[in-house]
Amino acid sequence: MRDKYPNYHDLARWEYGRMLWKIPRLRQRLVRHWTDERHPYRHRFAQHRPVLERLLAAPSDSEEQLDAALQQEGLSLRGMIREIPPVFGAFWEESKAG
């Protein structure tokens, strides 16, 4: 994946998103943040949420299998990684309280 797709912003959201997703408290915080009405990409997250949650929970050595499975659904790993929302500092701090 890294060799075929060197967009470092997307790869960072992918890698850090998966690291945070493994910790239940942070997973809940990410979901609160990404579904917050102030988040500009909340609608896109909602549209792709089941797939994104599946990808974020997947083992790190499964990228080729994930891409093959997504292609069966008419999607691609590259495209879905781009749908992982960024984290915005201003209200990320507020998402702790949820």
Domain boundaries along the sequence of the chain: 8-97
Please report, as a single letter, which amino acid is at residue 89. Answer: G
- Look at residue 16 and tell me whether its pLDDT is greater than 70: yes
Q: How confident is the model at residue 61 (pLDDT cuts 50, 70, 90)?
A: confident
pLDDT averaged over every residue in the chain: 88
| ∠ CA 88-42-19, rounded to 5° | 55
Per-residue pLDDT at 54: 94
Instruction: Give DSSP secondary structure letters for 13-81.
Output: HHHHHHHHHTSHHHHHHHHHHHHSTT-TTHHHHHHHHHHHHHHHHS-TT-HHHHHHHHHHTT--HHHHH
Per-residue pLDDT at 2: 53
Residues 63-87 as b or e (16 or more Cβ within 10 Å = b): beebbebbeeeebebeebbebbbeb
